[in-house]
Chains A and B, each alone.
Chain A
Amino acid sequence: SQTIHQWPATLVQPVGSPLSLECTVEGTSNPNLYWYRQAAGRGLQLLFYSVGIGQISSEVPQNLSASRPQDRQFILSSKKLLLSDSGFYLCAWSGTGVLDEQYFGPGTRLTVT
């Protein structure tokens, strides 16, 4: 069966510090991968998605970036965090078929102080 992991589960970082969040998927190959941010009262915002290694599409201009160095690894990064980067970050994967369900990881709670 497929599983999706995210770490760390929680993170407290000062403004201006770098960020690296990791997401890995097991039990499937060539998944579509997604990064979402969830801010209070604002639902989920799609940040990045990837259909393959090295293929990243950005949905929202910001100081975050994403990379996919391996087929089942998706990394969210920032060189300098802003207060507004605080939130709950969710990684998800789906198959490549039409309307394949998205499966979400447990999320990372990021607080920028």
Chain B
Amino acid sequence: AQSVTQLGSHVSVSEGALVLLRCNYSSSVPPYLFWYVQYPNQGLQLLLKYTSAATLVKGINGFEAEFKKSETSFHLTKPSAHMSDAAEYFCAVTRSYNTDKLIFGTGTRLQVFP
């Protein structure tokens, strides 16, 4: 069965610092992985997705994630945090091959300090 684990429910960084949000997955089939962002009291917005075309995936707002099969990881990074990046971030994996039913992690809340 597929699952994702997000390490760290809260991450705090200073403005301009590197953002690193961790996601590890478990999957018995080749996974498709996603990162979503949720701003307070809003729905989720797709940041990026990995669909096996390239291991380094670039998304919106300067975020990127690298798929590492050997580490079963799909960590989200951004070189320089901005105050507007403060939000909750969710990693997700498809539940089975060739479907779009997603299994979400528990989320990581990112705080950005000036």
Which residues of A pack against B, CB within 8 Å?
A: 4, 32, 34, 36, 41-46, 49, 90, 92, 94, 98-102, 104-107, 109
Contact = CB atoms under 8 A, between A and B. Distances in A.
A94 B107 contact: no
30 contacts: A32-B100, A34-B101, A36-B104, A41-B9, A41-B107, A42-B106, A43-B107, A44-B104, A46-B101, A46-B102, A90-B44, A92-B43, A98-B100, A99-B49, A99-B100, A100-B100, A101-B46, A101-B49, A102-B44, A102-B102, A104-B36, A104-B43, A104-B44, A104-B45, A105-B43, A106-B41, A106-B42, A107-B41, A107-B42, A107-B43
A46 B98 CA distance: 17
The contact size tier of chain B is: 20 to 34
Contacts, number: 52
A27 B35 CA distance: 25
B107 A49 contact: no
Contacts of B24: none
Interface of B: 9, 32, 36, 41-46, 49, 51, 90, 94, 98, 100-107
